[in-house]
Amino acid sequence: MEKIKHAKAYNIYNNLVKDNRIDGYFYNKYIAELLELKQFIGIDIFYFIYIILDKKYLKTALIGNRKKHRIRNEATRYTSKKHIKEFIFGMHGYYCLKCGSKSNITLDHIIPIIRGGCNSTDNLQPLCQSCNSSKGSKIIDYRGEQP
Ligand SMILES: [Zn+2]
């Protein structure tokens, strides 16, 4: 019985070493499996595996954050291009399509980049700073509505 538990722990370790992407789902899965074996494999082996798991989880989270940053930067670079602004404001007017404000007008991604939207003019609408930030990552198309 002990041997089987140790073999299971060894399997977990092997899988963990091969896994390069440990997101929240896999983290919880590994933890649940490890906790089940904890009393059989002993605290040393438990922590030995746990530390590897923890490091990989942090690394995965870090890469995810870097990717989000890069995507956000690309989106900002696109919406700050002069000819893109001129095109969108020329089409919709220089005011917020939600509240009608004419100050602090920004270009909003209708489908946010983080949710799979793209940097193209048909995914952009003028919104003021405050309407843009209250929209957050929701998908709301204000075009065709009169503020
Ligand atoms: Zn507004």
| Token code pair at residue 76 | 């900002």
Please name every residue paired with 128 in a beta bridge, in sequence order, or none if there are none. 105
- Contact between 16 and 45 under an 8 Å Cβ cutoff? The reply is no
Distance from the alpha carbon of residue 104 to the mean position of ligand 1, in angstroms: 9
Distance from the alpha carbon of residue 84 to the mean position of ligand 1, in angstroms: 19
Q: What is the pLDDT of residue 68?
A: 87
Distance from the alpha carbon of residue 26 to the mean position of ligand 1, in angstroms: 41
Distance from the alpha carbon of residue 131 to the mean position of ligand 1, in angstroms: 4
Exposed/middle/buried for residue 128 (C-beta within 10 Å: 0-12, 13-18, 19+): buried
Q: What is the pLDDT of residue 5?
A: 85
Low-confidence ranges of the chain (pLDDT < 70): 1, 146-147
Q: What is the pLDDT of residue 1?
A: 67
Q: What is the pLDDT of residue 114?
A: 83
Domain boundaries, the chain: 2-71, 80-135
The CATH code for residues 80-135 is 1.10.30.50
Distance from the alpha carbon of residue 101 to the mean position of ligand 1, in angstroms: 5
